[in-house]
Amino acid sequence: MKTLRLVLLMCCLALLPLVRALAADVYESDPDHTFAFFEFNHIGYSFQRDRFDKVNATVKLDMAQRVGRVEVSIDVNSISTGSFFFNQMLQSEGFFDAKQFPLISFVSERLSFDRLDNVTSVEGELTIKGITKPLTLKVSHFKCMMHPVLHKPACGLNATGTIRRSDFALGKYVPLIGDEVSLYVVMEALKR
């Protein structure tokens, strides 16, 4: 009898992650309100800010357990600098090499929450040009509520982080063009 109880207890414990995963709400990013910006020092004259227009994200969020998972995919060909010439240059082999590496990805299973259940940071792995490095995004704004127009649950956030572009084989013209790149994420997502 004790053996049977122990087996049942072990089975229940083994199924606990599955139950938690099923309890999580799943949100899909709104393509009209989700972008990734990056900013870098351009020869000391100015800080240039460019963005990717096609960012897809799936967020699994279990507020009761204070856990979540984030999966982001960025289309490198959606880079938007405001200049056709610079778009082409950044998509070329010398920079993002969009033909060989058409996607940038970010995956996180570690979200930090404050006492009011706000997400304060997202720790994960950023992959650019097949190179994966850890990245922590600091969340400056987070809100979930019923969308006033669509009448379904929605969440939004603003987050920032910093990388060194040379860590991802993007170091062309360093140090003339700054190596440190500031990242800005703007996302709104709707519950599935």
* Domain layout of the chain by residue ranges: 24-191
Please, what's the largest Cα pairwise distance for the chain? Answer: 77
Percent of the chain with pLDDT over 70: 89
Q: Any residues with CB less than 8 A from the CB of 124 and at least 6 apart, and which? A: 70, 106, 107, 108, 109, 110, 134, 135, 136, 137
Mean pLDDT of 10-32: 68
The pTM for the full model equals 0.86
Pairing verdict, β 119-128 and 103-113: antiparallel
Pick the CATH number of 24-191 from 3.40.50.300, 3.90.226.10, 3.30.300.130, 2.40.128.110: 2.40.128.110
- Under the banding of pLDDT at 50, 70 and 90, the label for residue 165 is very high
pLDDT in tens, 51-91: 999 999 999 999 999 999 999 999 999 999 999 999 999 99
- Under the banding of pLDDT at 50, 70 and 90, the label for residue 145 is very high
- What is the predicted pLDDT for the residue at 21? 45
Q: What is the rounded CA–CA span in Å between residue 69 and residue 55?
A: 16
118 vs 179 pLDDT, higher one: 179
